[in-house]
């Protein structure tokens, strides 16, 4: 269905489902879903989602395909380690080589799409100015988090699934956890934060302070990923590249 001339709002499926449950909707049919979504729109008035440009849609398709191929390669690598049969081992190795070539072809296409758009090329340059943010991380952010640079740090963290969720009740202060958002974006930011905290004084100091304060490594890295996203969001909003700030 072409959405170029239609106004629409993209919402989290969990939010829509929870709204239906709150309204007492238990059954699920196309007609029930349609009525529930209409009521959701009327009551909550979600903001209109701007249609993505054809270039960003093409980039998203290639990023998605790369992720699928990488997952297939990961599965075959596991299988080749588990088999002792010579013929099966040879066949799996051949498939791994094929998948690697396909991944490289998709990555070349990703680079072509980015360079074909002055807007994406500039955003790519800015994002990759941060140590730890490479081509795939930058491309994933541009394709799957198009809101970057257009909203505040709290909203962008929530969209990425990096915002801590409060679980308090009365005098009990529950443990903050992250959840929701876009898992693929959260994954690449976590890996980027790992590299940034090794090669950039700002992020290294930030992570180390958290760990010195007793935070588990994973929690410290998650917080570093959230800080990294905030920095990237500010950079895109301001149209600037990364500038190292020495920790105090």
Q: ∠ CA 50-52-56 to the nearest 5 degrees?
A: 150
Distance CA 135, CA 139 (A): 6
SS3 (DSSP) at 171: coil
Q: Is the dihedral of CA 28, 31, 33, 39 positive or negative?
A: negative
Distance CA 210, CA 219 (A): 9
Distance CA 129, CA 139 (A): 13
- All residue ranges of the chain with pLDDT < 50 are 1-3, 166, 168, 174
Contact 166, 176 (CB under 8 A): yes
Specify the DSSP class assigned to residue 53: P
Tokens in use for 161? Answer: 């699934």
In the block, tokens 């440009």 appear at 53
Distance CA 155, CA 12 (A): 14
Extents of the domains making up the chain: 13-44, 54-116, 143-238
Task: List 141's β-bridge partners, or say none.
Answer: none
Q: What is the pLDDT of residue 1?
A: 39
Q: What is the pLDDT of residue 174?
A: 47
Specify the DSSP class assigned to residue 169: E
Instruction: Tell me which of 1.10.287, 1.10.490, 3.30.70, 1.10.150 is the CATH number of domain 54-116.
Output: 1.10.287
Output the CA–CA distances (angstroms, integers) from residue 110 to 58, 76, 119, 244, in the order listed. 9, 24, 14, 28
CB neighbour class for 229 (10 Å; exposed up to 12, middle 13-18, buried from 19): buried
């Amino acid at each position: 269905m072409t959405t170029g001339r239609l106004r629409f709002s993209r919402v989290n499926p969990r939010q829509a489902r929870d709204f239906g449950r709150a309204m007492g909707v238990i059954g699920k049919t196309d007609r029930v879903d349609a009525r529930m979504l209409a009521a959701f729109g009327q009551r909550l008035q979600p903001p209109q989602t701007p249609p993505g440009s054809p270039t960003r849609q093409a980039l998203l398709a290639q990023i998605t395909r790369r992720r699928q191929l990488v997952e297939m390669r990961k599965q075959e690598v596991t299988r080749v380690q588990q088999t002792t049969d010579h013929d099966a081992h040879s066949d799996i190795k051949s498939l791994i080589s094929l998948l690697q070539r396909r991944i490289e072809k998709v990555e070349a296409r990703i680079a072509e799409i980015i360079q074909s758009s002055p807007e994406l090329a500039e955003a790519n340059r800015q994002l990759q100015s941060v140590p730890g943010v490479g081509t795939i991380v930058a491309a994933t952010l541009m394709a799957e988090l198009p809101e970057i640079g257009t909203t505040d740090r709290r909203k962008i963290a929530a969209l990425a699934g990096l915002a801590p969720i409060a679980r308090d009740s009365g005098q009990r202060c529950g443990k903050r956890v992250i959840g929701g958002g876009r898992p693929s974006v959260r994954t690449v930011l976590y890996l980027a934060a790992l590299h940034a905290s090794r090669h950039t004084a700002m992020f290294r100091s930030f992570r180390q302070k958290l760990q010195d304060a007793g935070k588990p490594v994973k929690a410290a890295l998650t917080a570093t990923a959230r800080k990294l996203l905030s920095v990237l969001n500010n950079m895109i909003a301001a149209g600037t590249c990364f500038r190292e700030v020495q920790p105090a």
